[in-house]
């Protein structure tokens, strides 16, 4: 009799490949199947694999820094001097001086005592929440997590990895978050309040001041995923949360505003050092390539310069062409039905405009949308072309943005 260890069949007597094919068919039937689209070159003006020119409104490279000459030059030099890879985790032999320099610069940028690099922003969220759970165990003060219902998937997965009680509050509902904190307190737990600063699919901003005040008043830790923050007032440091008394850890990414790859956390030095020693995605991942760290460091220098201010201003003007009151570079045009969203996206592509359709399960059922990501590299003419195409397709942008 064939043993289970040598069997070539998987679930229900089928091969694993057959099982995957069958399960995949159900995703296709639900109109949720996705394919990878490769673009021919970097930038807002790009090409499809066919060679066709398109104008894309899909990238999170908000300031266009992935194509900045100084950023590219820094990556080239680092590659020539230090090679293409780091070879190991930072705690073995993977660290290079450029990693240390970047952490110091990121800490200064976020007005924090220290920062720690991760190989991805996803890993940073998973890592910090797991490390905080271990801190609760080590100190005898268990934690509970209080998380916004629209937080990024990496935060959701981080809460699961943490294996602690989780309270999910309705989107941006500070009163509900306060009730969750109180429930944790009654059950003997300290709270970690975690939220995106700018929500990646809705483009709206968390009530950072109110949440920070809640954290300060209750002795909770405030963890903010700052990945999509570009404009003043959408980041937790500075005047936004001044005088709240909150202890704050910022999670960030290097792949959006800074045009590179990787993630980081920044905050009080003892917490960052604890994460350096206990965050598993940091400990057990090869360090980010020196070229990526050097590129991010050069991009950060641009962001903190007059040129960076000009780029942020250009991006702000592009957002204003859609909605002067909107506070981020992510503009959702909610269409509701998934098939309709896909149809409109395809019709835009026929006009040479690449705007992705976002469907469930990424967003809630009935809220399929176009996700427009703007860049400082877009021109006024680019924005006008998109608005004209949407109008031609019968999409009322003013209504759909605020639906």
Using the predicted structure, report yes or no on whether residue 15 has a pLDDT greater than 80.
yes
Q: How far are the Cα atoms of 155, 228, 279 from residue 133, in angstroms, in the given order?
A: 14, 25, 10
Q: Where are the domains of the chain?
A: 32-62+329-401, 70-303
Output the CA angle 37-43-45, nearest 5 degrees.
85
All residues at 6 or more sequence positions from 251 whose CB lies less than 8 Å from its CB, including other chains = 121, 124, 125, 128, 223, 224, 225, 226, 227, 263, 264, 265
Q: What φ, ψ does residue 196 adopt, rounded to 5°?
A: -70, 150
160, 133 in Cβ contact below 8 A? no
Cα gap 291→84, rounded to integer Å: 7
Structure tokens at 83: 């090679």
Instruction: Judge whether 32-62+329-401 and 70-303 match in fold.
Output: no
Cα gap 107→105, rounded to integer Å: 5
* pTM of the full structure: 0.93
Q: Within 10 Å of residue 207's Cβ, how many Cβ atoms?
A: 15
Looking at residue 9, its pLDDT comes to: 55
Looking at residue 242, its pLDDT comes to: 77
Q: Which residues form the catalytic set?
A: 200, 228, 256
397 compared with 368, residue with greater pLDDT:
368
CATH of domain 32-62+329-401: 3.90.1150.10
What is the strand order of the sheet 53-56 is part of? 45-47, 53-56, 353-354
Cα gap 238→258, rounded to integer Å: 20
How confident is the model over 271-312, as pLDDT tens digits?
999 999 999 999 999 999 999 999 999 999 999 999 999 999
Using the predicted structure, report yes or no on whether residue 314 has a pLDDT greater than 90.
yes
CATH of domain 70-303: 3.40.640.10
How confident is the model over 208-236, as pLDDT tens digits?
999 999 999 999 999 999 999 999 889 88
């Amino acid at each position: 009799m064939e043993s289970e260890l040598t069997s070539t069949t998987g679930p229900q007597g089928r091969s694993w490949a057959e099982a995957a094919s069958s399960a995949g068919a159900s995703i296709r039937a639900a109109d949720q199947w996705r394919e990878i689209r490769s673009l021919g070159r970097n930038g807002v003006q790009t090409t499809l694999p066919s060679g066709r020119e398109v104008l894309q409104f899909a990238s999170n490279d908000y300031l266009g820094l992935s194509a900045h000459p100084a950023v590219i030059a820094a990556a080239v030099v680092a590659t020539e001097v230090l090679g293409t890879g780091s070879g190991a985790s930072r705690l073995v032999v993977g660290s290079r001086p450029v990693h240390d320099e970047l952490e110091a610069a990121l800490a200064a940028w976020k007005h924090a005592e220290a920062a720690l690099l991760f190989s991805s922003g996803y890993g940073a969220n998973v890592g910090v929440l797991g490390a905080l759970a271990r801190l609760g165990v080590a100190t005898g003060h268990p934690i509970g997590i209080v998380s916004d219902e629209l937080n990024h998937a990496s935060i959701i997965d981080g809460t699961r990895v943490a294996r602690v009680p989780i309270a999910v509050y309705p989107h941006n509902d500070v009163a509900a978050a306060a009730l969750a904190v109180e429930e944790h307190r009654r059950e003997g737990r300290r709270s970690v309040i975690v939220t995106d600063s700018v929500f990646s699919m809705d483009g709206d901003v968390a009530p950072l001041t109110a949440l920070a005040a809640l954290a300060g008043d209750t002795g909770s830790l405030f963890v903010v995923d700052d990945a999509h923050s570009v404009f003043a007032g959408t980041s937790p440091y500075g005047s936004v949360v001044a005088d709240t008394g909150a202890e704050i850890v910022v999670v960030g990414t290097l792949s959006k505003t800074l045009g590179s790859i990787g993630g980081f956390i920044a905050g009080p030095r003892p917490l960052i050092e604890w994460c350096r020693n206990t965050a598993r995605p940091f400990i057990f991942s090869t360090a980010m390539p020196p070229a990526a760290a050097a590129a991010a460091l050069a991009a950060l220098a641009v962001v903190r310069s007059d040129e960076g201010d000009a780029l942020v201003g250009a991006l702000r003007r592009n957002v204003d062409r859609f909605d002067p009151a909107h506070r981020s570079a992510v503009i959702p045009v909610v269409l509701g039905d998934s098939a309709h969203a896909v149809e409109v996206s395809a019709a835009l592509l026929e006009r040479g405009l690449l705007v992705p359709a976002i469907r469930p399960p990424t967003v809630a059922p009935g809220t399929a949308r176009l996700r427009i990501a703007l860049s400082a590299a877009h021109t006024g003419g680019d924005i006008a072309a998109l608005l004209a195409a949407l109008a031609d397709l019968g999409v009322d942008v003013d209504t759909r943005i605020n639906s």
